[in-house]
Homo-oligomer: A and B are copies of this chain.
Amino acid sequence: MTTARPQEAAEPKVAYLGPRGTFSEEIALGFYREVEGSFTPYATIDAVIRAVASGEAAEGIVPVENSLDGSVNITLDTLAHEVDLRIFKEMVLPIRHNLLTRADTKHINVILSHPQALAQCRSYLRENYPGAELVAVESTAAAAYQVASGAKNHAAIGSLRAAGLYSLAVIAADIQDNPHNSTRFIVLVRDGKIASEAARKTSLICQINGEKPGSLHDILGEFARRQVNLTKIESRPARTGLGQYIFFLDAEGSLEDGNVRASVEAVREKSLWFKSLGSYPVCMVKSQDE
């Protein structure tokens, strides 16, 4: 799975949502050769993105969407409102959640995890631990770390890798509510660096005139009439008042394709505000849990 780079090329500094044992780290391990100091875990998604924007890191790996819980809003909002970065690559990882405790745990009354992991195991938790307090922490791995070093009646939802890293017992495996659980991660970069694989997807953000009936219909028509398929459309607040939105659009194909480029250019011209996140390849990642 590792795409080995020429020996002489310096490894890029890769920022990811830490601590060790997160799904973001799994992505990093699958795609980069880890050399001393080349991987840097950050405590929040926000911090990973800012590290790339400031030049502290050359590449940053963050989750952008889960198949059950939807978009990771902090990723979308930071890309839209606070930095100018490009997507270098998208990677899709199947997600499996497990309930982890210390070996000496008999009774669980507090369960920690990332808010999206808690959400993805909502039915399991309601059935099996209806009285437990659910505590949101920054990542699944942070939850595992806190359980390993914390109270005996606490449990974490996390990966088998996190269980191994923090020496926790796996009380229940595959506890996610839905088998169709996978997460899209994106690798963010600053400059015009080109991925070695062919770009298959193009992302953009735009704000249109929401007061005018049919504005969004008109924008989508630019893609439909050129037979360009949109794989995603997501609205997020423009932050200028209720009812005012920006739209994140993912289109199949690369800006190298004339139809995609023409659609995107037409949207740019019709938008009040527009930002391109570029074209990039998409890879499926095999989970290290398997």
Contact = CB atoms under 8 A, between A and B. Distances in A.
- Most chain B CB atoms below 10 A, which of A210, A217, A218, A231: A217
A52 B210 CA distance: 33
Given A180-B241, A224-B214, A242-B184, A233 B230 contact: no
Interface string A210-228: 1001101110110110011
Contacts of A115: 115, 136
A240 B180 contact: yes
Contact of A92 (B180, B184, B220, B242): B242
Nearest to A248: B235
Interface in A44-93: 46, 65-70, 73-74, 92
Interface string A2-18: 00000000000000000
A236 interface: yes
B223 A217 contact: yes
Contacts of A243: 231-232
B223 A67 contact: no
Interface in A219-264: 220-221, 223-224, 227-237, 239-243, 245
A46 to B, nearest CB: 8
A288 interface: no
Contact of A178 (B65, B223, B239): B239
A244 to B, nearest CB: 8
A217 B214 contact: no
A217 B213 contact: no
A13 to B, nearest CB: 22
Contact of A67 (B180, B220, B221, B237): B237
B237 A70 contact: yes
- Most chain B CB atoms below 10 A, which of A70, A135, A136, A231: A70
A220 B220 contact: yes
Contacts of A276: none
A46 B119 CA distance: 11
A220 B214 contact: yes
A182 interface: yes
B217 A220 contact: yes
20 contacts: A65-B242, A67-B237, A67-B242, A69-B237, A70-B73, A70-B236, A92-B242, A115-B136, A184-B242, A213-B223, A213-B224, A213-B229, A216-B220, A217-B224, A218-B224, A231-B243, A232-B243, A232-B245, A233-B245, A235-B235
> Which 10 pairs between the two chains have the least Cβ-Cβ distance?
A214-B224, A136-B136, A217-B220, A213-B229, A217-B224, A67-B242, A180-B241, A70-B237, A178-B239, A70-B236
